[in-house]
Amino acid sequence: MGENVLRKLPLLLRLFLPRTCKVSTIGVFVCNTLKTMKKRELIQAVATHTDVDNKTAAKLVEGTIDVILANVAKGEIVNISGFAKFAKIKRPARMARNPATGEQIKVKAKTVAKITALKGFKDIALGVAAAPKVNTVRKAAPAPAKKAPAKKAPAKKAPAKKAPAKKAPAKKVVKKAVKKK
């Protein structure tokens, strides 16, 4: 093939690759086939797994996130054993080097958020331990038991009072006289 066709080959292949795949500058195809779970999907999965309705699951997920954020904002460390540790870290001021010029510069002190994956999460993510079983189908709701209809005493109805209906005045019909020739 000619050089011109080889240069256009990655462009042509991009048309046929899924959007998650990209062609790097050296012609290597990089495809991200992992699915990203959004917050709404997480809420749906929690609702299905715990067999509650979506509103309750949304309140639980939102509440958990709010509690974690509030405690980290106060400076506390939130440790969910087997999952992750959330912390607010204060980094002191320091001297650093500009890699382009080699000049030493001063970096200001700053506060950063740090999330550390703990051993239980790492083991499951790396395949060392088996992932927990997740319910993906809701349990069928048991049929409500038939109850015998309760006998109720007939309710006494008060007689309805109706206002007398007013009649519209009748229209007079006028006949036209027909002229005879």
pLDDT (tens digit per residue) in 8-38: 555 555 555 555 566 666 655 566 667 889 9
Cα dist from 77 to 39, 40, 63, 74, 87, whole Å: 23, 26, 17, 9, 5
pLDDT of residue 135: 84
Q: How many CB atoms lie within 10 A of CB 57?
A: 20
Residue ranges of the alpha helices (H) in the chain? 3-16, 39-50, 54-73, 119-126
Residue 62: pLDDT band by 50, 70, 90 thresholds? very high
CA distance 60 to 46: 9
Distance, CA of 68 to CA of 50 (rounded, Å): 21
Q: Mapping DSSP to helix (H, G, I), strand (E, B) and coil, where does residue 36 land?
A: coil
Measured between alpha carbons, how far is 6 from 16 in angstroms, rounded to an integer?
16
pLDDT at 136: 82
In this structure, how many other beta carbons lie within 10 angstroms of the beta carbon of residue 72?
17
State both tokens at 41: 């999907």
Cβ count within 10 A of residue 39: 11
Query: Each residue of 104-130: pLDDT tens digit?
Result: 999 999 999 999 999 999 999 999 999
User: Does 43 have pLDDT greater than 50?
Assistant: yes
Could you tell me which residue, 139 or 102, shows the higher pLDDT?
A: 102
pLDDT, averaged across the chain = 79
pLDDT of res. 174:
61
Predicted local confidence at residue 45, as pLDDT: 92
- Contacting residues for 50 by C-beta, under 8 A, at least 6 apart: 57
Q: Is the pLDDT of residue 69 over 90?
A: yes
What is the model's pLDDT at position 66? 96
Question: What's the full length of the chain, in residues?
Answer: 181
pLDDT band at residue 1 under the 50/70/90 scheme: very low
User: pLDDT band at residue 5, thresholds of 50, 70 and 90?
Assistant: very low
Q: What is the pLDDT of residue 67?
A: 96
- The per-residue pLDDT for 19 is 57
Report field, pTM of the whole predicted structure over 0.95: no
pLDDT tens digits for range 135-160 = 888 776 555 556 656 566 566 666 66
What the block records as the tokens of 54 is 């979506």
- When computed from its CA atoms, the radius of gyration of the chain, rounded to whole angstroms, is 37
Contact 86, 72 (CB under 8 A): yes
Q: Is 157 helix (H, G, I), strand (E, B) or coil?
A: coil
CA distance linking residue 173 with residue 143, whole number of Å: 67
